[in-house]
């Protein structure tokens, strides 16, 4: 009679969950970079970075799903901070998988009150009806064992994708000045930027 330890079983289940999760991954690594809290992005920039239309952005802001949280004092239009754009991108991903806004709203409300560092450690799992939050690989495995998890979104991975996307756009500091344009990573990127600006 062979006896397997619980640790071996958990490891095997974790490996299965990782294979099922594919490129999305289970949970993110802890290598996300803290971003300055005094930088915001205008609506069109938030749309481009999150992969949504301006119409979606406007509707979600009007209905209170995700709105701009940076409000300059001098009458300038409100700006979306990194956390707002991250939530926009998560909403877009959940919509793309077929989850309705009614089901997404409670998940976004819950995420809104988590700390920024906590967000990077969250994986959202869904069975197409409900959205579940997992903060450890064991929770993901438990959810999948129960037959509830169909797909997952690792917020840390979305975070890193968004950091890369926002590198291509200028942000605005709360004092009103534009943040410095990022340096092009290569010759081709530099030429594209020059062609756009001039």
Structure confidence by residue, pLDDT tens digits, 44-83: 999 999 999 999 999 999 999 999 988 766 777 889 998 8
Contact between 57 and 88 under an 8 Å Cβ cutoff? The reply is yes
Confidence check: pLDDT of 188 > 70: no
Written as six digits, the tokens of 22 are 């594919």
For the cut 80, the answer to whether the pLDDT of residue 194 exceeds it is no
Q: What is the pLDDT of residue 28?
A: 42
pLDDT tens figures, 94-151: 899 888 899 899 989 988 887 766 787 888 888 777 888 888 888 888 877 877 657 7
Residue 9 pLDDT greater than 80, yes or no: no
**CATH class for the region spanning 24-178:** mainly alpha
Q: How far is CA 28 from the centre of its chain?
A: 11
If you count DSSP H runs as helices and E runs as strands, how many of each does the chain have, helices first? 9, 5
Looking at residue 132, its pLDDT comes to 81
Mean pLDDT is lowest, of 38-42, 104-108, 183-187, 189-193, for: 183-187
Give the CA dihedral 124, 35, 30, 117, nearest 10 degrees: -60
Residue whose structure tokens are 């294979």: 19
pTM of the complete model beyond 0.85: no
């Amino acid at each position: 009679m062979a006896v397997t330890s619980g640790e071996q079983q958990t490891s095997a289940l974790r490996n299965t969950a990782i294979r099922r999760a594919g490129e999305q991954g289970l949970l993110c690594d802890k290598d996300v970079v803290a971003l300055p809290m005094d930088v915001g992005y205008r609506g069109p920039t938030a749309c481009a970075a999150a992969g949504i239309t301006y119409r979606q952005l406007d509707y979600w802001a009007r209905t209170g799903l995700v709105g701009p949280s940076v409000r300059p004092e001098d009458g300038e239009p409100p700006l979306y901070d990194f956390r707002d754009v991250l939530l926009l991108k998560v909403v877009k991903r959940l919509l793309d998988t077929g989850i309705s806004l009614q089901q997404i709203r409670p998940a976004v409300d819950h995420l809104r009150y988590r700390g920024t560092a906590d967000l990077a450690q969250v994986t959202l799992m869904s069975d197409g009806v409900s959205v579940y939050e997992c903060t450890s690989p064991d929770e993901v495995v438990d959810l999948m064992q129960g037959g509830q998890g169909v797909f997952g979104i690792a917020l840390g991975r979305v975070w890193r994708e968004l950091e890369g996307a926002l590198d291509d756009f200028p942000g605005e500091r709360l004092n009103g000045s534009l943040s410095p344009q990022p340096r092009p990573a290569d010759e081709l990127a530099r030429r594209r930027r020059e062609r756009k600006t001039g």
